[in-house]
A and B are shown apart, each in its own frame.
Chain A
Amino acid sequence: MIEVLGFILFGCFAGAFTGLVPGIHTNTIALIAVSFAASAGFGVPLVMMIVSMSVVHSFVSFVPSIALGAPDEDSFISVLPGHRFLLKGLGLHAIKLTAIGGLFACIISIAMLPLFAMFVLKTVHVIYPAMPAIIIIVFALMLHDEKGTTQRKWALYVILLSGSLGLAGLRAGIFGNAIFPLVTGFFGASTLIYSMNKNTGMPAQEFMAKKYRRHTVLTGSALGVIAGALVSLLPSLGPNQAAFILRKIIGKMGTSQYLIVIGGISTVNAIFAFFVLYLAGKARTGTAAAVAELVELSAGDLMLIVATVLLAAGFGVVATEILGKFTLTHISKLPYKIINILVLGMLALLVAGLSGAMGFLLFLTSTGIGLTALTSGVKRTNCMAFLMVPTLAFYIGI
Chain B
Amino acid sequence: MRIDDFAVRRVSLAVSVIGLIAVIALAEFSAPVDAAPWEIDDSMLGNTVKTSGIVKWTRMVKGVLIFEIGEGSGISAVVLSPDERELALIVKGGRIEIEGRVEKYEGNIEIVVNKVRALD
Query: A residues near B, CB below 8 A?
Result: 27-28, 31-32, 34-35, 38, 157, 161, 164-165, 168-169, 171-177, 190, 194, 197-199, 235-236, 282-289, 292-293, 358, 361-362, 364-365, 367-372, 375-376
Total number of A-B contacts with CB less than 8 angstroms? 123
A289 and B32 alpha carbons, distance in the complex (Å)? 28
Contact (Cβ within 8 A) A289 B2: no
User: In the complex, what residues of B have CB within 8 A of residue A288's CB?
Assistant: 84
> How far is it, in angstroms, between the C-alpha of A235 and the C-alpha of B94 when the chains are bound?
15
Which has the most chain B C-beta neighbours within 10 Å: A176, A289, A361? A289
Using Cβ atoms and an 8 Å threshold, which residues of chain A touch B81?
A: 27-28, 31
With A172-B115, A282-B88, A368-B11 known, 9 other A-B pairs at CB within 8 A are A35-B62, A172-B27, A174-B114, A197-B2, A365-B22, A371-B9, A372-B9, A375-B5, A376-B9
> Do A286 and B15 form a contact, CB below 8 Å, given A173-B100, A361-B23?
no
| A375 nearest CB neighbor, chain B only | B9
User: Which residues of chain A have C-beta atoms less than 8 A from B3's C-beta?
Assistant: 197
CA distance A172 to B117 in the complex (A): 12
Task: Given A27-B83, A369-B16, decide whether A173 and B23 contact each other with a Cβ distance below 8 A.
Answer: no
* Interface size counted on chain B using CB atoms at 8 A: 39
**Interface pair A173/B30, CB less than 8 Å apart:** yes
A360 to chain B, nearest CB (A): 10
Distance A293 CA – B19 CA, assembled complex (angstroms):
40
B114 touches A173 (CB 8 A): yes
Residues of B participating in the A interface, judged by any CB pair closer than 8 Å = 2-3, 5-6, 8-9, 11-17, 19-20, 22-24, 26-27, 30, 32, 48, 60-63, 81-85, 87-89, 99-100, 114-115
B8 near A375 (CB under 8 angstroms)?
Answer: yes
- A34 and B65 CA atoms in complex are apart in Å by 12
Say whether A174 contacts B30, CB under 8 Å: yes
A372 / chain B contacts, CB cutoff of 8 Å = 9, 12-13, 16
Most A-side CB within 10 Å, residue of B3, B20, B62, B83: B20
Chain A residues within an 8 Å CB radius of B60: 34, 293
- Asked whether B15 lies within 8 Å of A367 as measured between CB atoms, the reply is yes
30 contacts between A and B (CB under 8 A): A27-B81, A164-B24, A165-B20, A168-B20, A168-B23, A169-B27, A172-B23, A172-B26, A173-B114, A173-B115, A174-B26, A176-B114, A197-B2, A197-B3, A198-B2, A199-B2, A235-B88, A236-B85, A283-B88, A286-B82, A286-B83, A288-B84, A358-B26, A361-B19, A365-B20, A368-B15, A371-B12, A371-B15, A372-B12, A375-B5
B-chain residues with CB within 8 Å of residue A286 when the two chains form the complex: 82-84, 87
Shortest Cβ distance from B7 into chain A, in angstroms? 9
> What are the 5 closest A-B residue pairs judged by CB atoms, nearest first?
A365-B19, A173-B114, A368-B15, A172-B27, A371-B12
| In the complex, chain B residues whose CB is within 8 Å of the CB of A370 | 12
Q: How far is the CA of A282 from the CA of B94 in the complex (A)?
A: 13
Q: How far apart are B44's CB and chain A's nearest CB, in angstroms?
A: 15
Chain B, residue nearest A288 (CB): B84
CB distance from B1 to the nearest CB of A (A): 9
Find the A residue at minimum CB distance from B115. A173
Residues on the A chain within 8 Å of B12, using CB:
190, 367-372, 375
Residues of B within 8 A of A177 (CB): 83
In the complex the two chains form, what is the Cα distance from A362 to B23 in whole Å?
A: 7
